[in-house]
Amino acid sequence: MIIDSFLFFQELKLLKVRLDYLYDVVDKFLIVEAGESFSGKKKEYIFEKNKRFFEKYTDKIIYFKIKDNHKNYKSLINYLNFKKEYIYENIKNFMESHNHYNKKEKHFFLDSYH
């Protein structure tokens, strides 16, 4: 199994290119989006608002929203670490819930955030 996991901000055209290019070789796309920017400004969930443009890929998309906010620098650092752990935790949960995948085979995870 190949899972492509990444944080999504607002790059709709880049997301379309990524989904088109990798669709035939990736089993699942794990998209994680936060309700605020890295600078702490509130933002709407861009993917959720525009998901109709990605309907042909929905069979392979797993979408998660992060709703927590940070108030200071220490909170920001914790937030960035949380995002990283959030992706890994969701990959683990996905694999455990789909136990029909052969555990003796190698599975690959593409994580463009790290």
Decide: 8 and 43 in contact? Cβ < 8 Å.
no
User: What amino acid occupies position 37?
Assistant: S
CB 83 within 8 A of CB 7: yes
As given in the structure block, the two tokens for residue 43 are 């933002």
Beta partners for residue 66, in sequence order:
34
Please give the chain's pLDDT, 114 residues, in tens: 788 888 888 899 999 999 999 999 999 998 988 888 777 788 899 999 999 999 999 999 999 888 766 666 666 666 666 666 666 676 677 666 766 556 566 555 555 544
**Domain boundaries of the chain, sorted by first residue:** 2-105
CA–CA separation, 114 vs 111, rounded Å? 6
Query: pTM above the 0.85 mark?
Result: no
CA distance 81 to 72: 14
Which conformational region is residue 40 in: left (phi greater than 0), alpha (psi within -120 to 50 degrees), or beta? left
Q: Which amino acid is at 40?
A: G
Q: E strand or H helix at 89, and its extent?
A: helix 73-97
